[in-house]
Amino acid sequence: MSANETREKICEAAIRTAARDGLLAMTLDNVAKEAGVSKGGVMYHFPSKNDLISGVLTYFGAQVEGMVLKRMAEDPNPRFRWARSMLSCLFPEPSAAQVTEGALPPELLENFMLAAIAAAVNNRELIEPLRQVGLRLCQRLLSDPDDGLEQLLVWLAVDGLFLWQFVGLIRRDEPLYAEIGAALRAKVGLSSAALSSRSVSGRSVQPEEGHR
């Protein structure tokens, strides 16, 4: 295994560890155990815990950005393309058998983001790599004169959902969570037949008129 492959393996293990235990609770030892490498192997790439946190946040940001851009490139409809790409990562088709190769599972994405929010409460500087990704994506969005602001509002709605989870106002397994996901998908024209006809909490979510 090459040095780059080992580094990626460590970062992926750190994402799983942080999503499960919390970013600040993550240690070189438990990441080494999760990755199946020695502690020395982790320290070769990340000499300290702060280096590991910075490295995994940079890796996670690049992975998420890559997932979104890949989906954008595969979407022939330019309207709301960014929002559809983001939402397909977090609220995939119910019939999807497995996560796209190279993509992070939705629950892992969310749990890691919640871990990052918790870490930011203690030290905002820790999540600087994610802030840089956010700034790039925001600039990309606002460069779209037609739908940029509306897509930004969708992004803010998703961030609000993360915040609600963080403070205990909603859980991923609640019907309302699925309803919000279906409504956001419908707003950007992403609803499949399964989602658009599905009734959640007694209400049927249908695509908006402009996206049918």
Helices and strands per DSSP (H, E), number in the chain: 10, 2
Residue at 159: amino acid letter: D
Q: How far apart are CA 212 and CA 190, in angstroms?
A: 9
- At 203, give phi and psi (nearest 5°): -125, 140
pLDDT digits (tens, 9 = 90+) for 124-175: 998 999 999 999 989 988 988 889 999 999 999 999 999 999 999 999 999 9
Instruction: Quote the DSSP letter at residue 124.
Output: G
| Partner residues linked to 204 by β-bridges | 199
Domain boundaries, the chain: 3-211
Q: Exposed, middle or buried, 120 (CB in 10 Å: 0-12/13-18/19+)? A: middle
Consecutive H or E run containing 43? helix 39-45
The pLDDT value recorded for residue 7 is: 95
Candidate from 165-174, 180-189, 195-204 with smallest mean pLDDT: 195-204
* Cα–Cα dist 47/31, whole Å: 13
Q: Token match 């490295």: residue?
A: 55
pLDDT-derived band at 192 (thresholds 50, 70, 90) equals low
Note the pLDDT tens digit of each residue in 52-100. 999 999 999 999 999 999 999 999 999 999 999 999 999 887 655 445 5
CATH architecture, range 3-211: Orthogonal Bundle (1.10)
3-state helix, strand and coil shares in percent for the chain, rounded to the nearest 5: 70, 0, 30
